[in-house]
């Protein structure tokens, strides 16, 4: 048991996803050793982000400005809007570096059980954006889960009224570096059905 | 890829032991969601501990005062000094709640390879304490590793000159809840050699 002040810090750290009491203790001892190089900068960065973080008013991305970097950049005005469930998915798409358009973060999936309807998911906002920005393509990059695909179908239905708008979705298949032996049957089936000429 | 300020925070979080880039991203998104309940208090606690943390001048425990809570408490003046390698070990001993004496944190083990000698390990300080505090027992609670046991033997040798001082070490055996099938041969051997009447 550490001193009360240090224990309070350990308890807070232990509440982070991915850290438990043991790893929180290790992290705190590590931080105390690297006080100048890591601990103070971390405290300052946390405070700064706590003060500054906000959702982009356009797409729902998290940044430190009212309109996020992507929505502000003219280069990203390609007429393509990629719809994702969570901010983490947007960041993952950005890391791949392939998509050059803009995003729309739903904030989850439709769920009757949790009473999440279209209005909770920025879906009306997506429709407004399509009109306002004159979008030509909406890419549904939702999870390959039941909830994700239900939500994708709902959105595709709802957008069918927009003339000249193409609604697409990510390809399903073998992941890069994936070995067939380790893949689930569903993925192999999907990859086979979507096979292409070599 | 997140906004620069948020990415800087993620990079700092990813340097904590037990967190990688992926879990750091998850932790930061979680923190931003729980800004008031977790993020601000965490930033404040980090800053407080960064400012206040110091090694106890007596035993080497980490606390926020020059002399730690344990060394200041008269109740802990039992004449027993428990020697541990690291502060984390001291905390682990305290959690068990069994030991009521004081500690001495070496800060590591003797190592010819890393040029760690007795003077780097607060061993002279331990001898002074034994005399000053009139200690009756030194418990060597060092790791059951080659380095830990080498250090234990060295300390035991060095303390052999103190009259009336008993030098003890932790029992080795089957861990509580341990199944024989999963234990290494060395532990089973040690437990058998140290068997006691039932």
Q: Report how far residue B103's alpha carbon sits from residue B66's, in angstroms, rounded to the nearest whole number.
A: 15
CATH of the domain at A110: 3.40.1360.10
B64/A5 Cα distance (integer angstroms): 8
A79-82 contact pairs (CB < 8 A, 24+): A79/A133, A79/A134, A79/A135, A79/A136, A79/A137, A80/A135, A80/A136, A80/A137, A80/A138, A80/A139, A81/A126, A81/A129, A81/A130, A81/A133, A81/A135, A81/A137, A81/A138, A81/A139, A82/A138, A82/A139, A82/A141
A156 and A110 in a common domain: yes
Number of domains forming the structure of chain A: 2
CB A40 within 8 A of CB B101: no
Does residue B108 lie in a domain region? yes
From A90, which residue of chain B is nearest by alpha-carbon distance? B1
Q: Give residue-wise pLDDT tens across range A7-58.
A: 999 999 999 988 999 999 999 999 999 999 999 999 999 999 999 999 999 9
Measured between CA atoms, how close is B197 to chain A, in angstroms? 34
Question: Which residue is associated with the tokens 């609604």?
Answer: A167
CA distance A143 to chain B (A): 17
> Is position B157 within any domain?
yes
Is A41 domain-assigned?
yes
Q: Buried (b) or exposed (e) across A95-109, using 16+ Cβ within 10 A?
A: eeeebebbbbbbebb
B96 in a domain, yes or no? yes
Tens of pLDDT along B59-79? Answer: 999 999 999 999 999 999 999
For residue A198, being part of any structural domain is answered with: no
CATH number of the CATH domain containing B28:
1.10.8
Domain span at A146 = 62-169
Mean pLDDT computed over B164-182: 88
Chain A 40-69, residues with CB within 8 Å of chain B CB atoms = 40-50, 52-53, 62-65, 68-69
Do B163 and B81 lie in one domain? The reply is yes
What would the pLDDT profile of A93-123 be if each residue is shown by its tens digit? 998 889 999 999 999 999 888 888 888 899 9
* Residue in A18, A31, A91 nearest the CB of B2: A91
Residue A196 belongs to some domain of the structure:
no
| Partner residues linked to B182 by β-bridges | none
- The verdict on A43 and A123 lying in the same domain is no
Q: What is the ipTM of this complex?
A: 0.84
CA distances from B149 to B144, B169, B177 (A): 6, 10, 25
């Amino acid at each position: 048991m550490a001193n009360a002040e240090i224990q309070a810090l350990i308890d807070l750290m232990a509440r982070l996803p991915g850290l438990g009491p043991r790893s929180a203790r290790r992290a705190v001892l590590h931080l105390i050793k690297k006080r100048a190089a890591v601990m103070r900068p971390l405290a300052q960065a946390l405070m700064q982000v706590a003060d500054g973080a906000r959702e982009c008013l356009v797409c729902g991305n998290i940044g430190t400005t009212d309109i996020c970097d992507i929505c502000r950049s003219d280069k990203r005005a390609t007429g393509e809007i990629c719809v994702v469930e969570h901010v983490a998915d947007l960041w993952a798409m950005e890391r791949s570096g392939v998509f050059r358009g803009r995003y729309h973060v739903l904030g989850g999936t439709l769920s009757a059980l949790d009473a999440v309807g279209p209005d909770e998911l920025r879906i009306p906002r997506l429709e407004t954006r399509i009109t306002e920005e004159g979008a030509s393509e909406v890419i549904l990059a939702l999870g390959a889960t039941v909830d994700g695909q239900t939500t994708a179908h709902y959105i595709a239905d709802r957008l069918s009224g927009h003339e000249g708008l193409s609604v697409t979705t990510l390809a399903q298949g073998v992941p890069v570096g994936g070995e067939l032996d380790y893949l689930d049957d569903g993925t192999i089936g999907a990859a086979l059905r979507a096979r292409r000429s070599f």
